[in-house]
Structure 1
Amino acid sequence: MKYFLLSVLLFSGADVFAQNAVAKASTLYDHTSAHMAACIWGGFLLVGGVGLLLFFTTPLCRDLSYDPETNLPRPLKQRSFSYAKTQLFWWTVIILSCFLGVYIYTNVLVDITDQMVILLGGGLMVGLTGTMIDRSQMQANNQDMPSRHQDITASQGFLLDILSDESGVSIHRFQAVVINLIFGVAFVVGFVANLKGKVDPFIKFDPNQMALLGVSAAAYLGFKTSENGKETKIDRQVAAVQEVNRKKEEENLAAPARQTVMFQAVETRLKSKGMV
C-alpha cells in the first residue's frame, strides 16, 4: 500500500507544481541553428548512443542473479533485464536527449519543467524500490540455494525478461510497458512539434495522465512484492534443480566439482521426497 500511495502522489503531483513556460518563446528561438533536425538527432545520438552502449555491455539494466548450482553470480549475458531499471533508463534517455537537443539547437540551457523532474524522480523511485524488494527477496530465498525466479533460468531476451514474473508473462507488466512506451513516444513527438512551432519545447501531460503513470508504477511494485514468496519456495527449488539437471543432460556433463554443498543438500532432500 505504501508503494502505491507514494507512486500516485509522486506522479500526480505534477498538477500541483505545474508552471507555465520554462523559457519565453520570444527569446528562446532568437539564435537558433539552421539545422533543427540535425540538432535533435545529435542530442539523441549522444545521450542515447552512450546509453545503449552501456545498456548492452554492462549490468546497467539487468538484475543481479545467482546460479543455483554454484551460488555464484551469473555471467552478464545470462542475467535477466530488469523492468524497473529499464523504465528509469527509458525516461532518462528521453528527457536528457531532448534537453541536450534544445541546447544544441537554441544555445540556451532552458529550465526543465516540474513534470520532467517528476518523471525522472518517479523512474528513480521505481528503480530504487525495485532494488530494495530484490534485496529483501534474496535474503529470504538464498539461504539454502538461490531460488528466486530470476535465478532459476538465464535471460530469455529483453522483451520476455521485462514482461515476466515468476508465473511468466504478466498483465500488469505488459500494461506498464505499453503505458510508458506510449507516453515516452508522445513526449518526443510533442517535443519535436513544439520546436517546429517555436513554442515552449517540453510538452505537459494532463494531471490524469500523470496519475495513470503513477498507478501503473504502483501496480508493478505492488505485484513485485508478492513475487518469490515463501509459499512457492519449494516449487522454485524443484524448478531450479530440474533446470540444472536438464542443462547437464543436454551438455552430457557430470556434476561439476564447483557444485555447492547447499545445492547437493537441497537436491538430495527433494529427491528423497520424490519431487525431482
Structure 2
Amino acid sequence: MRYLIITAVFTLLAYFPWAYAQDAPAENTTARQSVNPASANAQREGVDKGELYVVGRNEGKNKEDFVFRMGERIHIKATGDVAGRLKTELEKTGASRSPILLFDGIKMANLPSAISQLDNGNMLRFSFYLERNPALKESREAWDMLFKSKDEYVMPIEVGIAVGSELPLVVQSAYPFFFYLAPASEILATVSGALLILFVAYYLIVNKTNMLKDQDTGYYSLGKSQMAFWGLMVVLAFVGIWILTGTMEYIPQQVLILLGISGATGLSAVLIGNSKKSGTEDEMTRIRAEEQNLKELKEKNPAGFSTDNENQLTVLSQKITELSHQLGNQARRTRPRGFWREICDDGNGVSFHRLQVVIWTLVLGMVFVGYVADGMSIPEFPETLLILMGISNLTYLGFKIPEKS
C-alpha cells in the first residue's frame, strides 16, 4: 500500500498550489485587479451609454457584485440602438427567439433564459440561469471547454451575447466579470476527501476482507482488484461532482465500457480458475480410477503383473501426488506474498502481462482524477485507450489459462 500512499501524496501536492493561490472569490478579484474609483465611475458612465452591459448584484456598486457562481442568475441589459437591433432579430419570422450567452467566445448552450422589455420596449433585459446540464451533450461540452481553458477556479470571463444574425456582441461590465464553480477551499476539501476515502477504503478492502482474493488459491486476484478500483473511482467522482455542482453527473459511455471491461475481466478470471480446478479434479478422478484398476489386477494375478504395468502404476502414483499438491496449495500457503506481488505474479514470478494491466490501470486512474478535479466532469476516454485497456486485459486472461494454480 505504500505505493498508493505515495501516489496520493503527489496527487494532493499537485492541487495545493492552485488551491492556495485562490482564496475566497471576493479576495481573488481584489488581488487580481485593483480598480481606480474614478476610472470605475467613468467606465460605469460609459456602460450606461454603451447600451449592452452586465447588471451586477446590489446595483453593481462593488467589485464583488460582478462575481457569479454556478446556480446563480445573470442579467444583461440592452439599450438604445443595440436593444433595437436585438429586438428586431427576436421579432423576425422563423428566427430563433432564444438568446445565447457566450463566455470567452464559447456558446453556453441550453441555459434557461428569459427576455423582458423595460422602458416601454426601449430597453431589453436578458436573464440567464447558470447551470450545467449533464444530460445534454452540448451543455456538457461547453462547460468542459470553459473549465479546461482556465487554470483557476475563479475565472475572469469576457461575456458576450448572440441573437440571430447579431452575433457575437461583447457585453460590457462596470467591474471585471468573474465566474466560479465553488470556493477553492471547498473544491480542495472535496477532492482531498474523495482521494482519502479512495485509499482508505481500498486499503481496508485489501487488508481487512477477502473480497479481492481468489477463493481457491487464497491469493489476491488482479481482475477483482481492478474491478474494485474503478468501481470506487466512479462512485466517488459522481458523489464529489454532485456535492460541488448539485447536479447528477452524466456517466459517459466510455466509462461504462471501462467498468464493463474490468468487471468482465474479474468474472472471466474467476471462471478460468474454477475451470482449471474442475479440470484438475476430473483428471484426479480419472487417474485414481486407472490406479485402482491396476492395483486390483495386481492383487488378482501377481504373477501376470508385468513390468510395464508396474511402471505405469508408479507414473500414476506420481501424477496423483502432483495433482494433490496443486489442489492443496491453498491449505499450504501460510505465508502471503503481499498484495502487489500477488496481483503481478503468475506463479513463476512477476509477469509482464500482469504488470502491464496494473500500470495502465494506475495511469488511467491518475488521468481520471486529474480530469474530474480540473473539469468537474467525468471524462470520456478516447476509444483507442479503451481498446488498449481491453487488449491488455485479454492478454492477461489468455496467459492466465496456463498459469500455475
Shift in Å, 1:109: 1.1
Unpaired segments of 5 or more residues in structure 2?
1-135, 148-152, 154-178, 285-322
Shift in Å, 1:25: 5.5
Shift in Å, 1:183: 1.1
Quick one: which of 258, 267, 274 aligns to 1:135? 274
Quick one: which of 171, 174, 179 aligns to 2:352? 171
- Structure 1 contact 61–86 (Cα < 8 Å) conserved: yes
- Structure 1 window deviating more from structure 2 (175-184 vs 42-51): it is 42-51
Report Cα offsets for 1:108-160 as digits up to 9, x if no partner.
11121111111111111001111111111122235553516963634201111
Equivalent residue for 1:188? 369
Equivalent residue runs for 1:115-134 within 5 Å: 115-134=254-273
Equivalent residue runs for 1:48-59 within 5 Å: 48-59=199-210
Shift in Å, 1:58: 1.0
User: TM-score, with normalisation over the residues of structure 2?
Assistant: 0.43
Equivalent-residue separation in structure 2 for 1:32 and 1:81 (angstroms): 41
Quick one: which of 379, 384, 388 aligns to 1:203? 379
Equivalent residue for 2:389? 213
Cα 1:62–1:48 change in 2 (3 A) is same
Flag the structure with higher helix content.
Answer: 1
Match of 1:110, SS?
Answer: coil
User: TM-score, with normalisation over the residues of structure 1?
Assistant: 0.62
Equivalent-residue separation in structure 2 for 1:140 and 1:101 (angstroms): 46
Equivalent residue for 1:268? none
Unpaired segments of 5 or more residues in structure 1?
1-18, 67-78, 196-200, 230-276
Cα 1:20–1:215 change in 2 (3 A) is farther
Equivalent residue for 1:96? 235
- Structure 1 contact 39–101 (Cα < 8 Å) conserved: yes
Shift in Å, 1:181: 1.1
Report Cα offsets for 1:6-53 as digits up to 9, x if no partner.
xxxxxxxxxxxxx94674665999995431111223334445534432
Equivalent-residue separation in structure 2 for 1:205 and 1:175 (angstroms): 19
Match of 1:134, SS?
Answer: helix
Equivalent-residue separation in structure 1 for 2:372 and 2:328 (angstroms): 39
Shift in Å, 1:191: 1.6
- Structure 1 window deviating more from structure 2 (98-107 vs 21-30): it is 21-30
How high is the sequence identity, in percent, across the aligned residues?
26
Equivalent-residue separation in structure 2 for 1:92 and 1:217 (angstroms): 17
Cα 1:148–1:100 change in 2 (3 A) is farther
Cα 1:169–1:26 change in 2 (3 A) is closer
- Structure 1 contact 63–150 (Cα < 8 Å) conserved: no
Match of 2:378, SS?
Answer: coil
Equivalent residue for 1:113? 252
Equivalent residue for 1:40? 191
Cα 1:177–1:47 change in 2 (3 A) is closer
Equivalent residue for 1:145? 324
Equivalent-residue separation in structure 2 for 1:22 and 1:207 (angstroms): 22
- Structure 1 window deviating more from structure 2 (179-188 vs 29-38): it is 29-38
Shift in Å, 1:206: 2.0
Aligned-residue CA RMSD (Å): 2.9
- Structure 1 contact 115–204 (Cα < 8 Å) conserved: yes
Match of 1:85, SS?
Answer: helix
- Structure 1 contact 190–202 (Cα < 8 Å) conserved: yes
Cα 1:50–1:178 change in 2 (3 A) is closer
- Structure 1 window deviating more from structure 2 (107-116 vs 23-32): it is 23-32
Shift in Å, 1:63: 1.3
- Structure 2 contact 212–221 (Cα < 8 Å) conserved: yes
Report Cα offsets for 1:89-116 as digits up to 9, x if no partner.
1111211111111011111111211111
- Amino acid corresponding to residue 273 of structure 2 in structure 1: D
Equivalent residue for 1:64? 215
Report Cα offsets for 1:212-248 as digits up to 9, x if no partner.
001001000111112248xxxxxxxxxxxxxxxxxxx
- Structure 2 contact 346–404 (Cα < 8 Å) conserved: no
1:80 aligns with 2:197: no
Equivalent-residue separation in structure 1 for 2:211 and 2:387 (angstroms): 27
The number of residues matched between the two structures is 194
Cα 1:150–1:170 change in 2 (3 A) is farther
